[in-house]
């Protein structure tokens, strides 16, 4: 006898059901409705809605006046939403919340500078919508092979922040393979598990069913991505048929099958599934009646019993649980949360506090109650007296009752965790920021407690900038967002980094509202490059160009500053469009040009050091930070081919300042002028000596003339 088994999760998913319900609600209210593209990938549903007056438009501008434009569950790019709003169109956003979560993730990650990798079908509307919420680089891959090939091309560096998401309906195994490949190539990767839980469960059930049946029937629209995925995973195990309606069924398609499994895509309504099951039952029963020659009576088709839908497919037994010694801290925590012996809650009044336990009077019970210190709070380092005081009324969970001893072991931690878990789940959906305290630094990240729930924070998400050592965060208060929740494992993943970046964006916005050229700030040196130092001004980064770090020449910013230094800076220039800030650091009083101006007027002779050579001359440092040019024509008093013929680096020479252009910061120096002056002085010295000699001879001659006359007179007298 042929058996028919229906998968537990066949049919409408939450997102599709929500979208269709919204359209019907609008129609019931008498509104005119348009959908941006088919509301779901099921032609039968689309036809029914069309019969009620729903029209399909391809662009928001095509929406008729007075009509409501419904955004389907796949979601749309932000640009489409902006256009619709610009047209004044009334929008009913039926985007699946799980898809909306992906939009929020890629927006935040793109804004933070991360490249986004989407695993999915590039042509699928959901993927197109996700891409449209990315503001930076985004890449789409549909299989591990293409991703692997692309990663090897190194289009983005291994250190670049990379966020990885998937289409909600993508096959889980393929996604896991893609995630493993990305982890091998990128050190700053954060993987967001965005496959819809319902999709994953649907695929899991379909695989399990196909492994025990010899025929699978997949019901759904041929344009539906998730329906196609169901067909793909089932076809690996048995013969698989895809149909849209019961009309496509035939005896030939079902013949020879002893066990038939049925599942349906997320866009397949319940009435179509019911009709398929009924038709299959009729075909199977009629076929068996015809084959059974011993049967003498024929049961009318309308009375033929329909095959019952099988209960949820039994899962393969899980592997034996690890021992606590083999578990990681997170695994042990999760295991302990699942080990409750009872879910009975009681009220306890604190009557005693000890270092290792809290004694309570349990309302309505005669046994003495106690709360072990490790069941008081999720913080393993907590001191009981810091948590409770005598007389406090506490909501507690019974862990174990010992009738022989007349005691009840209770837990406050687990009640808090139950309430806190709801808050954590809600925070993940809303994007709320949670406050917590870091309780443990573990391999791969941190554990923080919020509302009695431990949240794992990966190392890559532990701070605004990557930290090699996370120990400074131990026991520190932190603020974070929940970025992933696993309901089955009661596991939550948080991000401090996301909050820090959001806060930084707020500070940045406040800065740009008030910032003006000339304003002074106290900042911290954040990083350095060969061309300058980046300073955190408290929400924004500004750059001190290397030329602004010192009045003298430096080879690297580290010659003046160190990372972590607190510095006083002022705004030299602002580029509001590019969000760039140019900072000044040098002090006017230390300006070597002002010192030079005061001490060295034109015509001064100074000793300078040769610091550079060019084809047209040599540069000489007069004082640190001020250089002048000795043109090749001013190096010697004769023609030279190149400066190196006369000068060398490091040589100290006397030069004359012949000209200064303070605006252009140019100084002309001359060695030749000094040489020529010296030569002129040397030529003047011999001439003066000759003149002096001639003067002496003349004087001597003049003195000799009277004596000669006297001698002549005496001679005449004789």
Q: Collapsing DSSP states into helix, strand and coil, what is residue 59? A: coil
Compute φ and ψ for 522, nearest 5 degrees.
-105, 120
Q: Which residues pair with 610 in a beta bridge?
A: 620
701 φ/ψ sector (left φ>0, alpha ψ -120 to 50, else beta): alpha
- Spatial CB neighbours of 549, under 8 Å, sequence gap ≥ 6: 532, 533, 557, 559, 560, 561, 585, 586
CB atoms within 10 A of CB 534: 19
Q: Could you identify the residue written with the tokens 């101006």?
A: 597
How many residues does the structure list for the chain? 718
d(CA 569, CA 234): 66
Q: Collapsing DSSP states into helix, strand and coil, what is residue 466? A: coil
Active-site residue identified among 108, 126, 375, 428: 126
CB atoms within 10 A of CB 8: 15
- Sign for the CA dihedral angle at 289, 295, 301, 303 comes to negative
d(CA 511, CA 521): 11
d(CA 12, CA 73): 12
Cα 157–chain centre separation: 15
| Residue 611 Cα distances to 408, 468, 530, 626, angstroms | 87, 43, 21, 11
Helix/strand/coil (H/E/C) assignment for every residue in 306-366: CCCCCCCCCCCCCCCCCCCCCCCHHHHHHHHHCCCCCCCEEEEEEEEECCCEEEEEECCCC
CB atoms within 10 A of CB 336: 15
Strands of the sheet containing 3-6, edge to edge, are 3-6, 259-264, 215-219, 239-243
Structure tokens at 640: 């030279």
Q: Could you identify the residue written with the tokens 């081919």?
A: 641
Q: Collapsing DSSP states into helix, strand and coil, what is residue 521? A: strand
Active site residue 291: no
d(CA 166, CA 141): 9
- For residues 355 and 401, the answer to whether their CB atoms sit within 8 Å is no
The DSSP secondary structure of 639-690, one letter per residue, reads --S-GGGT--TT-EEEEEEEEEETTTTEEEEESHHHHHHHHHHHHHHHHHHH
d(CA 631, CA 587): 31
Catalytic residues: 126
């Amino acid at each position: 006898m042929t058996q028919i088994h229906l998968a537990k999760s066949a049919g409408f998913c939450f997102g599709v059901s929500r979208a269709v319900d919204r359209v019907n609600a609008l129609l019931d209210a008498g509104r005119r409705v348009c959908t941006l593209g088919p509301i779901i990938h099921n032609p039968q549903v689309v036809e029914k809605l069309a019969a009620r007056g729903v029209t399909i438009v391809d662009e928001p501008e095509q929406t008729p006046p007075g009509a409501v434009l419904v955004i389907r569950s796949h979601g749309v790019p932000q640009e489409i939403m902006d256009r619709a709003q610009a047209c004044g169109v009334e929008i009913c956003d039926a985007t699946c919340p799980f898809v909306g979560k992906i939009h929020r993730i890629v927006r935040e990650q793109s804004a933070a500078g991360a490249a986004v990798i989407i695993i999915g079908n590039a042509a699928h509307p959901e993927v197109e919508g996700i891409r449209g919420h990315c503001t930076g680089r985004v890449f789409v891959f549909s299989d591990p092979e293409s991703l692997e090939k692309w990663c090897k091309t190194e289009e983005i560096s291994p250190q670049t922040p990379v966020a990885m998401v998937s289409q909600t309906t993508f096959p889980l195994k393929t996604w896991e393979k893609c995630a493993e490949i990305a982890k091998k190539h990128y050190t700053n990767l954060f993987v967001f598990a965005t496959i819809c839980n319902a999709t994953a469960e649907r695929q899991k059930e379909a695989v399990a069913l196909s492994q025990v049946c010899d025929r699978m029937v997949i019901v759904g629209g041929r344009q539906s991505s998730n329906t196609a995925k169901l067909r793909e995973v089932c076809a690996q195990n048995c013969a698989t048929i895809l149909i849209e309606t019961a009309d496509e069924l035939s005896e030939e398609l079902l013949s020879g099958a002893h066990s038939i499994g049925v599942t349906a895509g997320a866009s397949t309504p319940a009435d179509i599934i019911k009709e398929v099951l009924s038709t299959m039952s009729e075909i199977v029963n009629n076929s068996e009646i015809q084959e059974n020659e011993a049967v003498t009576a024929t049961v009318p088709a309308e009375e033929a019993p329909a095959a019952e839908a099988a209960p949820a497919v039994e899962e393969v037994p899980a592997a034996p649980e690890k021992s606590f010694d083999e578990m990681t801290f997170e695994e042990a925590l999760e295991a302990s949360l699942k080990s409750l012996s009872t879910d009975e809650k009681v009220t306890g009044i604190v009557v005693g506090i000890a270092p290792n336990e809290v004694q309570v009077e349990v309302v309505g019970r005669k046994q003495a109650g106690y709360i072990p210190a490790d069941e008081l709070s999720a913080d393993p380092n907590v001191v009981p007296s810091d948590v409770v005081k005598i007389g406090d009324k506490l909501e507690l969970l019974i862990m174990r009752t010992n009738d022989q001893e007349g005691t009840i072991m209770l837990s406050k931690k687990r009640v808090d965790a139950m309430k806190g878990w709801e808050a954590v789940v809600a925070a993940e959906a809303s994007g709320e920021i949670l406050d917590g305290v870091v309780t443990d630094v573990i391999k791969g990240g941190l554990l923080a407690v919020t509302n009695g729930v431990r949240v794992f924070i990966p190392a890559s998400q532990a701070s605004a900038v990557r930290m090699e050592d996370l120990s400074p965060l131990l026991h520190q208060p932190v603020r974070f967002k929940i970025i992933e929740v696993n309901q089955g494992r009661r596991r939550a993943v948080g991000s401090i980094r996301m909050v820090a970046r959001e806060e930084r964006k707020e500070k940045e916005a406040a800065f740009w509202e008030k910032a003006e050229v000339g304003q002074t700030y106290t900042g911290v040196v954040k990083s350095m490059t060969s061309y300058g130092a980046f300073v955190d001004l408290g929400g924004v980064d500004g750059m001190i160009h290397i030329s602004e770090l010192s009045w003298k020449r430096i080879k690297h910013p580290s010659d003046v500053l160190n990372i972590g230094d607190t510095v006083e800076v002022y705004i030299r220039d602002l580029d509001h469009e590019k969000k760039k800030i140019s900072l000044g650091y040098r002090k006017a009083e230390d300006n070597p040009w002002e010192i030079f101006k005061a001490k060295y007027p034109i015509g001064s002779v100074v000793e300078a050091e040769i610091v550079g050579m060019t084809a047209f001359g040599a540069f000489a440092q007069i004082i640190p930070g001020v250089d002048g040019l000795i043109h090749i024509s001013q190096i010697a008093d004769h023609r030279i081919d190149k400066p190196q013929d006369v000068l060398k680096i490091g040589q100290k020479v006397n030069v004359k300042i012949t000209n200064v252009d303070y605006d252009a910061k140019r100084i002309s120096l001359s060695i030749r002028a000094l040489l020529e002056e010296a030569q002129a002085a040397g030529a003047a010295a011999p001439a003066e000596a000759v003149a002096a000699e001639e003067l002496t001879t003349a004087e001597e001659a003049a003195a000799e003339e009277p004596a000669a006359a006297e001698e002549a007179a005496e001679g005449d007298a004789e």
